[in-house]
């Protein structure tokens, strides 16, 4: 069954090529297709395109399909092109001609659009929850290791003393900025395209603000042409936000791979969280972090892939957009898995104490010695030159301690302020409004 089919059947090779992986990917859109249809038929009844009795019958059957989806009992029949066709087929099998009325004032174009936006909205919420958990873990580890010193590097050369408190906290604050971009992407997604039909609206007296409210959208995509233009653009914007989180995880993973290396030896993990070698019995490989790093790098390529698919398309719908789903839909689960595995690893991390007691790290304290001379009244340039000469002549001596008190430093990392920033961003998503609307739609 195909919603667009009339009498002639497409050549088999054409059908296989154009459908691609849509059948498999559409299973992830199935619950959202039902939600969009529930809102659509309520609006159709209000516009006089369905009777109250027809609405009641359609609602009952759609809710039954939704239950089947939730229980994992929903599938696409052989020969059915996509989830939209399957839902309409099931309604028609149960209700006859009433089932065929569900597509009035709607195109598969805006149907796919609303499914994707509802899907993105749901997956963004899951991603926010997972990121929030990792954020809290990072701050907990930061506060636990405030006074544990760690070498800081620039150009991958020894630079200045740092701390594990700063290191964990840095990635926590990085996630705050990542949430800012994800919240902006959410605002783009949280607009209702339903009613734009094929991209040029409908002659039926539909009420688009009604479906906006029923589905818990924050606003409308008003212009029907732009509603269609938003496909591809919305995914690219969301993919860019996901890529920011992925970049944070990739950098953290690279640090962990380095710090676990025996030449650094700053951290360790239980044996069951690392892997061994087939011939080298001493190996403890950071495979989890290596895979997070690679998944993260692949996710960072996704926005560019979507941009290249859409950059030279004119306005209106084009089948090119279908291919975006193949890498975009799985991206959420991939990222969420990476966030979860990062949390598992960092929950079991062991941090080495007294790292900087090793003589090879003595020059980390050169800036501290320069600053001591400046505090005694020596001009900075003279102090810098003196300490530099002492190092060259083998006369450098230091005290292996630091006294940093300014905002964001080792002694005052600002974790409470960072936690408040994250809380403020998460509140802006207003997920509860969506939950209430969808619960009412399904009740």
Q: Choose, from 277, 315, 347, 423, the residue flagged as catalytic.
A: 277
158 DSSP β-pair partners:
153
Dist. CA 92–CA 87, nearest whole Å: 9
**The tokens of 302 are what?**
């996704």
Q: Choose, from 75, 84, 107, 155, the residue flagged as catalytic.
A: 155
Catalytic site residue 277?
Answer: yes
Residues classed as catalytic: 155, 277
């Amino acid at each position: 069954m195909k919603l667009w089919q009339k009498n002639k059947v497409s050549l088999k090779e054409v059908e296989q090529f154009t459908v691609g992986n849509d059948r498999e990917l559409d299973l992830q859109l199935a619950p959202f297709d039902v939600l969009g249809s529930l809102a659509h038929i309520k609006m159709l009844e209000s516009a006089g395109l369905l009777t109250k009795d027809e609405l009641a019958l359609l609602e009952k059957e759609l809710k039954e399909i939704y239950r089947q989806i939730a229980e994992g009992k929903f599938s696409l029949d052989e020969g059915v092109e996509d989830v939209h066709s399957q839902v309409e087929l099931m309604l028609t099998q149960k209700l006859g001609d009433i089932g065929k009325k569900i597509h009035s004032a709607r195109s598969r174009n805006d149907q796919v659009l609303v499914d994707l936006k509802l899907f993105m909205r749901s997956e963004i919420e899951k991603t926010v929850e997972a990121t929030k958990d990792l954020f809290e873990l990072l701050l907990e580890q930061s506060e636990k290791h405030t006074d544990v010193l760690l070498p800081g590097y620039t150009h991958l050369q020894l630079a200045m003393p740092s701390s594990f408190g700063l290191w964990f906290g840095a990635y926590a604050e990085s996630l705050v900025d990542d949430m800012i971009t994800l919240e902006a992407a959410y605002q783009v997604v949280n607009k209702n395209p339903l009613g734009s039909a094929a991209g040029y609206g409908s002659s039926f007296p539909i009420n688009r603000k009604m479906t906006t409210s029923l589905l818990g959208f924050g606003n409308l995509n008003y212009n029907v042409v732009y509603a269609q233009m938003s496909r591809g653009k919305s995914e690219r914007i969301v993919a860019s936000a996901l890529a920011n989180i992925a970049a944070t995880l990739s950098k953290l993973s690279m640090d962990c791979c380095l710090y676990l290396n025996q030449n650094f030896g700053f951290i360790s993990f239980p044996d069951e969280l690392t892997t061994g070698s087939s011939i080298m019995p001493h190996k403890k490989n950071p495979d989890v972090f290596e895979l997070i790093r690679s998944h993260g790098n692949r996710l960072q390529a996704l926005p560019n892939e979507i941009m290249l698919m859409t950059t030279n398309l004119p306005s209106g719908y084009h089948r090119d957009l279908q291919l975006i789903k193949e890498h975009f839909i799985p991206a959420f689960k991939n990222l969420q898995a990476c966030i979860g595995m990062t949390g598992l690893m960092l929950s079991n991390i062991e941090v080495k104490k007294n790292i900087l007691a090793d003589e090879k790290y003595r020059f980390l304290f050169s800036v501290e010695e320069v600053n001591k001379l400046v505090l005694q009244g020596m001009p900075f340039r003279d102090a810098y030159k003196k300490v530099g000469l002492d190092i060259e002549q083998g006369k450098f001596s230091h005290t292996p301690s630091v006294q940093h008190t300014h905002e964001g430093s080792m002694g005052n990392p600002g974790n409470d302020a960072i936690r408040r920033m994250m809380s403020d961003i998460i509140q802006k998503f207003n997920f509860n409004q969506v939950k209430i609307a969808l619960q009412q739609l399904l009740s």
